[in-house]
Amino acid sequence: MLVSLDSVREQLENNGHRYTQTRGVVIDAIAASSHGFSADGVYTSLPTVGRATVYRTIKLLLQLGVLCKVALQNGSPRYSMAASGHHHHVICIRCGSISDFSQCNLDDLAPRLASALGREPVGHRLEVYTLCSECEGSPEVTLVRGGQQHA
Amino acid sequence: MLVSLDSVREQLENNGHRYTQTRGVVIDAIAASSHGFSADGVYTSLPTVGRATVYRTIKLLLQLGVLCKVALQNGSPRYSMAASGHHHHVICIRCGSISDFSQCNLDDLAPRLASALGREPVGHRLEVYTLCSECEGSPEVTLVRGGQQHA
DNA sequence: GGCGGTTTTGATACCAAGTATCACTTTAGG
DNA sequence: CCTAAAGTGATACTTGGTATCAAAACCGCC
């Protein structure tokens, strides 16, 4: 687990939210599959937590910048724990696992966009699709709907 | 109107599809708002055409490469006529109008991604959000749900 | 530990975007 | 003009997510 649960708690509490038992359960589940999960996957994996609460918690964590929302190649939404700072996502087209990249030579993307457009971009979205190393060799089509990867 | 309707017809017929009366109606509507429209907007503007047909036609045109599907900043989907060749989209955060860019200095994006990732990307998605020149001065918030821009 | 105000929760209903089904209509071509 | 194939429309369904609202949990205070 790459993300400190305590820091998530701090994020919540520093912004006037409570770290409730229910949120703890949701956040644990999220942290356990931090490299790409679906809201519905979290919901179905947590029979004690209501659907609305799962979606509300995810929305809250998005607003706090704890999570990123990304799109698989087919457009279906996934979430992942956010790296700090500006970054983008590489998404496996087979298993949906998400990794970040930021320290690559795309650092000057934003200014180049600005000069290409003649106006300041207020935001952008860049997602790269590839086959992850684990999926590269495997012949099976294992794209999941639930949001878990690789068992 | 920037897109030849005849070429759309050719695209369809060269791929074993018919250019029916109904498709003609849908394609006319699309061509008339080619810089960003929603499926539902097309549907509600065409009382003679069924919902399923509108979505099916859009899907077909996507498959043929006649249309692109893009996401507004809030994630809601929009379509636009596709420029030929590899390109990306600039989307106004207020009115949702979509323009293309390709001949900018991002041409080397793909190879740079490849070397940054250590593996070949099989695709990517880049969308840039900005305020279009028409929206820049206007104080009104006019973000539409229907998909039309600027009257 | 109990009280009370605020926040959170869960059930439910709803919305948006899109797909599946299937009987019916168009269409192309002989 | 007839027929098979393609396309259409109504409807129901699915996925992803939000609104509502009463009930429950939470937190500070006494």
CA distance to partner chain B, nearest, from residue A46 (Å): 26
Average pLDDT of the segment spanning B114-132: 88
pLDDT for B33-63, tens place per residue?
999 999 999 999 999 999 999 999 999 999 9
Tokens of B107: 């041409």
> Which pLDDT score is estimated for A61?
98
Query: Strand D: which nucleotides have any atom within 7 A of a protein Cβ?
Result: 6-12, 15-20, 25-27
> Which pLDDT score is estimated for B116?
80
> Which pLDDT score is estimated for A98?
95
> Which pLDDT score is estimated for A119?
83
More confident residue, B143 or A66: A66
**Contact yes or no for B124/A72 (Cβ under 8 A):** no
pLDDT for B80-99, tens place per residue?
998 888 899 999 999 999 99
CB interface of B with A, residues 43-72, below 8 Å: 69, 71
Q: Which residue of A has its CA nearest to B100?
A: A117
Q: Quick one: pLDDT band at residue B142, thresholds 50, 70, 90?
A: very low
Whether B128 sits inside 8 A of A115 (CB atoms) is no
Instruction: State which residue has its Cα closest to the C1' atom of D25.
Output: A20
> Which pLDDT score is estimated for B131?
93
Q: Chain A residues with CB inside 8 Å of B39's CB?
A: none
> Which pLDDT score is estimated for A150?
43
Check pLDDT > 50 for residue A147.
Answer: no
Interface membership of A74 toward B (CB under 8 Å) = no
Check pLDDT > 50 for residue A22.
Answer: yes
Check pLDDT > 80 for residue B136.
Answer: yes
CA distance to partner chain B, nearest, from residue A12 (Å): 23
Interface membership of A93 toward B (CB under 8 Å) = yes
Whether A124 sits inside 8 A of B126 (CB atoms) is yes
B9 touches strand D (CB under 7 A): no
Check pLDDT > 50 for residue A14.
Answer: yes
Q: Which residue of A has its CA nearest to B93?
A: A122
What's the CA B114/C1' C15 distance, rounded, in angstroms? Answer: 40
Average pLDDT of the segment spanning B59-76: 96
**Contact yes or no for B42/B54 (Cβ under 8 A):** yes
Instruction: Nearest by CB to A130, from B71, B93, B119: name it.
Output: B119
What Rg, from alpha-carbon coordinates, does chain B have?
17
CA dist A20 and A111 (Å) reads 42
Chain center to CA of A25: 18
Q: Quick one: pLDDT band at residue B108, thresholds 50, 70, 90?
A: confident
Q: Chain B residues with CB inside 8 Å of A109's CB?
A: 106
Q: Quick one: pLDDT band at residue B105, thresholds 50, 70, 90?
A: low
CA dist B81 and B64 (Å) reads 11
- Residue A56's CB is within 10 A of a number of other CB atoms, namely 14
CA dist B106 and A112 (Å) reads 8
User: In the block, which residue shows the tokens 């030849």?
Assistant: B4
DSSP state letter for A43? H
> Which pLDDT score is estimated for B3?
62
pLDDT for A41-77, tens place per residue?
999 999 999 999 999 999 999 999 999 999 999 999 9
